[in-house]
Amino acid sequence: MTAATESTVQGAIGQSPKRVEDDRFIRGRGSYVDDVQLPGMLFMAIYRSPFAHATINSIDCSRALAMPGVLACITGKDLEAHGLAWMPTLAGDTQAVLATDKVRFQGQEVVCVIAKTQYQAEDALEGIDVDYDPLPVIVDPGKAMDADAPIIRSDLEGKADNHIFTWESGDADATERVFQEADLVVKLDTLYPRIHPAPMETCGCVSDYNTATGKMTVHLTSQAPHAHRTLFALVAGLPEQKIRIISPDVGGGFGNKVPIYPGYVVATAASLLIGKPVKWIESRSENLISTGFARDYHMSGELAATKDGKMLGLRANVLADHGAFNAQAQPSKWPAGFFNIATGSYDFKAAYCKVDGVYTNKAPGGIAYRCSFRVTEAAYLIERLVENLALETGIDAAEIRRRNFIQPDQFPYRSPMGWEYDSGDYEKALNIALDLVGYEELRKEQAAKRERGEIMGIGFSSFTEIVGAGMSKICDIAGLAMIDSAELRIHPTGKGVLKLGVQSQGQGHETTFAQIVANELGIPSDDIAVEHGDTDHTPYGLGTYASRSTPTGGAATAIVARKLREKARQIAAHMLECAPDDLEFDSGTFSVKGSPDQKKTVQECIFAAYQPGLPEGMENGFEDVTYYDAPEMTYPFGTYICVVDVDKGTGEVKVRKFVAVDDCGTRINPMIVDGQIHGGLTQGFGTAMMELISFDEDGNCFGGNFMDYLIPTAVESPSWTLGECTTPSPHHPIGAKGVGESPTVGSPQAFVNAVVDALSPYGVTNIDMPLSAHKVWKALRDAGVSDE
């Protein structure tokens, strides 16, 4: 890292200017996809399968076609004629755009109706008649590989089972040897249940084909507009220069808006065929039952340790439920994402994991919901195992972590499953958290309460994340290197535009990325307009997910600003008649070393860049572009401590206090960092306590609307106590690591560990999420604590 000197320029790194994007949002002047209203625009609604698995005998749209305003009913057969009935997924599988042969999950897309109004399109869904023959349904992934299991993917030639992949990491033999040596082995079988990102804005698009120019403009709820443009070109066969993706304001993404969904493809095809704009906006129910579920990892973990709590080896076996199509969004070479970060913050001798992916009759996925590709599941498993090791050995939960942390002098640290951690000081984060929560007092209080039969728990999570993909040598999506970009153009008056390949969905890029320029180039952040989300006007990038914006796009921004700073330095030297090396740069001013009144501001240099009389050989103008390929991932970390009180009579869990100490390296805008942490912790709370998408044995989805799929309201949501420490990343230009996902990755296990700690005197060693009052009450009743 080249640490920038602390800049006094308005908006420089470390300051918390208010967000520039808020000016439009608080006035109701944002521009989300559903706000796009075009002349002659048609509307699309989707008829979905009521069955989880059924053969389609026939589809009759005649009643719908006779209804008012209906222009077309598009079936899979219609798409087949254009080679569009199936599409590739990001995971290298294929997915039905509209079902042709059979339906494979409840809510699968079967027919799309195009009508003049939204009401007419939805009315016409009642006029679709599909004749089905129901087939046996697989809901339990554990039964997917049974010999007599029905084959879900009969469309795949030669497919004789429901297995998708087996992926292994680490050294099985070395791990087995370590397990043989160990004094004890702690085991845990746990399900990280199926949940949904559920951003407040659902997915949708307005596809607008211009019959005169042949250009297809798609207004799209997209976290990765450039990658989506390329995928549209590859899937639909449209020339890429004639596709423009506009991802305007995005109402939250959290991974939900990374994949391409069938609705996008059909609306685009319909616009192409009809020659008019077609809008498709998902309803909330459609969002929850069909797009972008996350997790659904059935994990068996084993942790080998000495009796004094020194961890030696980790072994994990995972059954991954991917639903009916393998539509997860991971880098191509990583079918189980970065699950092999599972050794977390601890120094193991050996580790090994094996993940099997299977098909079931459920919605396809799973996407990386506010996490870097299965790191959430991995962080959960290791932190739950460590909690149970503490219970097993009787060693304090903080102390056992302390004994096993990777030490600061071990960085860069090579983990047993192959990752190179950049930097960390795990004990420091733990100590700050212990102080903030008042740990010793709490344990005394807990002991006193236990004497009185009251139930209180303290749960830890000392997580390590892996973010910022990153590293084209190992990471691509659909063959595209996971680079990202920044283009910076400063106008003669010293104010300019930064264009990004990454895509904000609420993270505040228009504010924070201008701050990076302010820091590096010395131009106030207020003078930099940030643009993103329009592929015709921004440089190529892979988009925003996996906490990658700051690690990749932020790095590109710093580097492009530095390139231009060097140009300004040449110009300043030319004007001051000195050598460039004789100049010092501080907060936007170049001054001659030893003669500080001999100086030029960066704005003077920029104006000169547009004037005659530049140094010999230098071109006019003041702009540049950078594509950044990260040398390594970044590894944010932290310690979270959760304190809960449990009601013996009802099983209700009350979060009394939650301390979160995050180390995300350099903090660009502390206000925004705290906001990201608040939001992520609340999502983690939802995961741990409330949220669940489940199915009955016929594959009927429970959790298909906001009355059944409960996300936290202001009443349940706890308040958070935040602490921080800062260990910059040594390889990132400004030392930043990324923060958006740490709290969702790090927090669920802290809640669960707190409840397990609370219930441990009664022999409880595990409860799977979500920790509903009923589930906790049941555990207490089974332990003989609560009455019927």
Partner 1 sequence: MSDKTVVTVTVNGEEQEALIEPRLLLVHLIRETLHLTGTHIGCDTSSCGACTVLLDGRPVKSCTVLAVQANGREVTTVEGLEGPDGLHPVQEGFKEEHGLQCGYCTPGMMMTSVALLAENPNPSEQEIREAISGNLCRCTGYVNIVKAVQYAAAKEGATA
Selection from 53, 75, 51 nearest residue 62 by Cα: 75
Residue type at 701 in one-letter notation: C
Residue among 117 and 410 whose Cβ is closer to partner 1 = 117
Of 78 and 123, the one with the shorter C-beta distance to partner 1 is: 123
**Would residue 741 show up in a list of annotated catalytic residues for this protein?**
yes
* Least distance (Å) between residue 369 CB and partner 1: 11
Burial level of 129, CB count in 10 A (0-12/13-18/19+)? middle
**Nearest-approach distance from CB 706 to partner 1, in angstroms:** 4
CB neighbours of 5 closer than 8 A, spacing ≥ 6? 586
Q: Per-residue b/e over 6-32, b at no fewer than 16 CB within 10 Å?
A: ebebbbbbebbbebbbeeeeeeeebeb
Amino acid identity for residue 532 in this structure: H
Site residues for partner 1 per CB under 8 A: 18-19, 21-32, 34-35, 37, 68, 118-119, 123, 198-202, 249-252, 254, 283-285, 505-508, 671-672, 674-676, 678-683, 705-707, 711-715, 717, 719-720
**Residue 76 vs 743, nearer CB to partner 1:** 743
608 phi and psi angles, rounded to 5 deg: -65, -30
Classify burial at 595, counting beta carbons within 10 Å of its beta carbon; exposed 0-12, middle 13-18, buried 19 or more: exposed
Question: How far is residue 611's CA from residue 567's CA, in Å, rounded to a whole number?
Answer: 14
Contact 167, 336 (CB under 8 A): yes
**What are the helix (H) ranges across 258-361?**
262-274, 284-290
Sheet strands side by side (includes 589-592)? 583-586, 589-592, 595-601
> How near is the Cβ of 716 to partner 1 at its closest, in Å?
9
Q: Least CB distance from residue 285 to partner 1, whole Å?
A: 6
Pairing of strands 94-96, 86-88: antiparallel
The nearer residue to partner 1, 208 or 249, going by C-beta atoms, is 249
588 vs 686, beta carbon nearer partner 1 = 686
Instruction: Write down the least CB distance from residue 20 to partner 1, Å.
Output: 10
How near is the Cβ of 466 to partner 1 at its closest, in Å?
Answer: 23
Give me the least distance between CB of 45 and partner 1, in Å please. Answer: 12
Report the alpha-carbon distance of residue 592 to residue 572 in Å, rounded: 10
Alpha-helical runs (H) found in 438-505:
439-451
Chain centroid offset of residue 90 CA:
15
Q: Closest separation between CB of residue 16 and partner 1, Å? A: 8
Gap between the Cα atoms of 730 and 634, Å rounded: 9
Residue tagged active-site, from 21, 487, 632, 741: 741
| Residue 776 host element (H or E) | helix 773-782
Task: Provide the 8-state DSSP code for 371.
Answer: S
Residue 126: CB atoms within 10 Å = 11
* Residue 21 Cβ vs partner 1, minimum distance, rounded to whole Å: 7
Query: Which of residues 34 and 171 has its CB atom nearest to partner 1 in the complex?
Result: 34
Quick check: helix, strand or coil at residue 78? helix
Closer of 487 and 510 to partner 1 (Cβ): 510
The three-point CA angle 293-294-295 to 5° equals 140
Which listed residue (19, 48, 244, 370) is catalytic? 370
Nearer to partner 1, 124 or 561 (CB): 124
Token pair for residue 29? Answer: 């002047």
Residue number, 54 or 250, with CB nearest to partner 1:
250
Q: Tell me whether the omega of the peptide bond preceding residue 730 falls within 30 degrees of 0, making it cis.
A: no
- For residue 321, give the nearest of 179, 162, 453, 124 by alpha carbon: 162
Which candidate, 430, 403, 425, places its Cα nearest to that of 413? 425
Structural element, H or E, at residue 77: helix 76-80
Which of 15, 106, 120, 223 is the catalytic position?
A: 223
Provide the residue count of the chain.
788
Tell me the closest approach of the beta carbon of residue 574 to partner 1, in angstroms. 43
Residue 188 · residue 381 · CB < 8 Å:
yes
CB of 65 to partner 1, least distance (A): 17
Q: Is 505 or 535 the residue whose CB approaches partner 1 more closely?
A: 505
Q: How far is the CB of 456 from partner 1 (least distance, A)?
A: 22
CA dist., res. 559 & res. 149, Å (int): 54
| Helices and strands per DSSP (H, E), number in the chain | 19, 35
**Single-letter amino acid, residue 748:** P
Q: Please state the closest distance from residue 470 (CB atom) to partner 1, in A.
A: 24
- Residue (67 or 234) nearer to partner 1, CB: 67
Radius of gyration of the chain (CA): 27
Return the bridge partners of 531, or none.
499
d(CA 671, CA 22): 14
24 vs 537 by CB, closer to partner 1: 24
- The span from the CA of 4 to the CA of 605, in Å, is 20
Name the 3-class secondary structure at 477. Answer: strand
In the bound state with partner 1, the residue whose beta carbon lies nearer, of 463 and 720, is: 720
725 is catalytic: no
> Taking Cα atoms as reference points, which of 379, 344, 390 lies closest to residue 190?
379
To the query of whether residue 383 is one of the catalytic residues in this protein, the response is no
Catalytic site residue from 61, 112, 203, 371:
371
Q: In the annotation, is 371 catalytic?
A: yes
Active site residues: 223, 370-371, 741
